[in-house]
């Protein structure tokens, strides 16, 4: 079996992949993640996941490479990682009472044969109505500046939600494990 490579430096994705008990190596893919003009969120998520997988082929020409990327959408607008408290606050206030959808692109590439399977896993979060004070208290306790949408569902961020809708909550963290198990099986990898 080819060596499994996670084309990501994200500690969140690495933690998720560890759940499957697979032996893998991580490698940062260094790609341009800029959306193309008028590119739909689903197409962007899939393109970036595939580009990440292809970006490390030169380093692992016999690897089974996993690429993943996530696009967060609120009312038709793509949200990036906030990076600052001011932007995080604005993202959370804009999400108050809204349905935010995450599209997580996932690609598995057999570098030796150039065979690629990819998918996009949607997952939605319906936010409770939030006051400015609640948003500020959340950011005081869990400043999720490196997460699209400005929250961590695996932490206190769960308190911001009314409900979640989707097949795999791991998608919110950035690596849909149910879909990954399905894609890996197409390459003969049975995680059980």
pLDDT at 104 over 70: yes
Flag whether 20 is in a domain: yes
Flag whether 190 is in a domain: no
pLDDT band at 1 (very low <50, low <70, confident <90, very high): low
Using CA atoms, how far apart are residues 48 and 12, in angstroms rounded to an integer? 17
How far CA 157 is from CA of 19, 135, 192, in Å, comes to 21, 10, 31
Q: Among the options 23, 69, 168, 190, which is catalytic? A: 69
Q: What is the per-residue pLDDT across 123-159, written as a single tens digit (0 to 9) for each?
A: 999 999 999 999 999 999 998 898 888 998 888 999 9
pLDDT score for 189: 95
- The pTM (predicted TM-score) of the whole model is 0.92
Total domains, the chain? 1
Element spanning 126, H or E: strand 115-127
Q: Is the torsion defined by CA of 51, 170, 118, 191 positive or negative?
A: positive
CATH number of the domain within which 86 lies: 3.90.950.10
Flag whether 115 is in a domain: yes
pLDDT score for 122: 97
Residue range of the domain that includes 133: 4-185
Does residue 69 carry a catalytic annotation? yes
CA atoms within 13 A on the CB side of 176: 27
pLDDT score for 183: 98
How far CA 81 is from CA of 86, 127, 155, in Å, comes to 12, 18, 17
Q: What is the per-residue pLDDT across 3-36, written as a single tens digit (0 to 9) for each?
A: 999 999 889 899 999 999 999 999 999 899 899 9
């Amino acid at each position: 079996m080819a060596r499994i490579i996670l084309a990501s430096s994200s500690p969140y994705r690495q933690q998720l992949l560890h759940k499957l008990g697979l032996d893998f190596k991580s490698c940062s893919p260094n790609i341009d993640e800029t959306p193309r003009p008028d590119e739909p969120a689903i197409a962007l998520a899939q393109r970036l996941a595939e580009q990440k997988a292809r970006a490390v082929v030169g380093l692992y020409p016999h690897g089974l490479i996993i690429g993943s990327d996530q696009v967060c959408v609120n009312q038709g607008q793509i949200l990036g990682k906030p990076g600052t408290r001011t932007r995080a606050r604005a993202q959370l206030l804009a999400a108050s009472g809204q349905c935010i959808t995450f599209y997580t692109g996932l690609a598995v590439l057999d570098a030796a044969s150039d065979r690629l399977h990819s998918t996009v896993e949607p997952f939605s979060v319906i936010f409770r109505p939030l006051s400015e004070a609640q948003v500020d208290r959340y950011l005081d306790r869990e400043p999720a500046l490196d997460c699209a949408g400005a929250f961590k569902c695996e932490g206190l961020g769960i308190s911001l939600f009314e409900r979640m809708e989707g097949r795999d909550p791991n998608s919110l963290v950035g690596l849909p494990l149910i879909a990954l198990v399905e894609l890996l099986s197409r390459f003969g990898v049975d995680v059980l």
